[in-house]
Amino acid sequence: MAYQFVKFQMAEGVAEIVLNRPDVLNSFNRTMGKEVQAALREAAGEPNVRAVLLTGAGRAFCAGQDLQEVVPEDPNQDWGDISEIVRETYNPVVLGIREIEKPVVCAVNGVAAGAGANIALACDFVFASEKASFIQAFAKIGLIPDSGGTFFLPRLVGLARATAMTMLGEKISAQQALDWGMIYRVCPPDSLLEEARNFARRLATMPTRGLGLTKCLLNKSLFNSLEEQLKLEERAQGLAGKTHDYREGVLAFLEKREPRFKGE
Q: Where are the alpha helices (DSSP H) in the chain?
A: 30-45, 67-70, 83-85, 91-99, 115-121, 149-157, 159-168, 174-179, 192-203, 208-221, 226-240, 244-254
42: left (phi over 0), alpha (psi -120 to 50) or beta: alpha
Binding range to ligand T3D, per CB under 6 A, among 37-45, 112-120, 199-207, 209-217? 112-120
Of positions 2, 45, 47, 68, contacts ligand T3D by CB under 6 A: 68
CB of 229 to ligand T3D, least distance (A): 32
CB of 84 to ligand T3D, least distance (A): 9
CB neighbour list of residue 86: distance below 8 Å, 6 or more residues apart: 146, 147
Binding range to ligand T3D, per CB under 6 A, among 4-12, 106-114, 188-196, 254-262? 106-114
Of positions 53, 85, 104, 211, contacts ligand T3D by CB under 6 A: 85
Of positions 6, 8, 27, 126, contacts ligand T3D by CB under 6 A: 27
How far apart, in whole angstroms, are the C-alpha atoms of residue 192 and residue 57?
13
Residue 71 interacting with ligand T3D (CB under 6 A)? no
Which residue is nearest to ligand T3D, using beta carbons? 64
Angle 191-262-14 from CA coordinates, rounded to 5°: 30
Exposed (0-12), middle (13-18) or buried (19+): which is 94, by Cβ within 10 Å? buried
Binding range to ligand T3D, per CB under 6 A, among 11-19, 133-141, 179-187, 254-262? 133-141
Considering only residues 136 to 195 of the shown chain, the ones binding ligand T3D according to CB under 6 A are 137-138, 141, 143, 146
The residues that touch ligand T3D, with contacts defined as CB under 6 A, are 24-25, 27, 63-68, 70, 82, 85-86, 111, 113-115, 135, 137-138, 141, 143, 146
